[in-house]
Copies of this chain bind each other. A is one copy, B any other.
Amino acid sequence: MSQSLDTTFAALADPTRRAILSMLLEDDMAVTDVAEPFEMSLAAVSKHLVILTKAGLISQEKRGRVKWCKIEPNAMKDASVWMQSFGQFEELDMDAFERFLETELGV
């Protein structure tokens, strides 16, 4: 169930949430581990995860005490399609992708 473009774009507008998505690209993570690198409270990160979940960008599953977060890349599809309707950048642009890696991940 893809969410509205409102919800998706709003969720992606926050750098903390985009960083979380990048982290989850590597592997599924527990909430506490997601929060670790950020200089904000666990509760704040937990709220970000709720927003990402409501946007459908991640899913959360509780196993025991631990709640695991998993990225849901399909949720970005509608938004991606919307943007592509503006044309001219359909294919993955490697230069731009590398710039993204530099700025977002510090690679």
Bound state CA distance, A97 and B76, in angstroms?
13
Residues of B within 8 A of A18 (CB): 5, 82
- Contact A13–B21 (Cβ < 8 Å): no
CB of A96 within 8 Å of the partner chain:
yes
A10 at the interface (CB under 8 A from B): yes
> Is there contact, CB below 8 Å, between A83 and B86?
no
Min Cβ gap A10→B in Å is 4
A9 at the interface (CB under 8 A from B): yes
Contacts of A14 in B (CB 8 A): 6
A104–chain B nearest beta-carbon distance, Å:
7
Q: A92 at the A/B interface (Cβ < 8 Å)?
A: yes
Interface residues of A in 1-36 (CB under 8 A from B): 5-6, 9-10, 12-15, 18, 21, 25
CB distance from A37 to the nearest CB of B (A): 16
Contact with A78, one of B79, B82, B99 (Cβ below 8 angstroms): B99
Residue pair B100, A105 in contact (C-beta under 8 Å): no
A86 touches B12 (CB 8 A): no
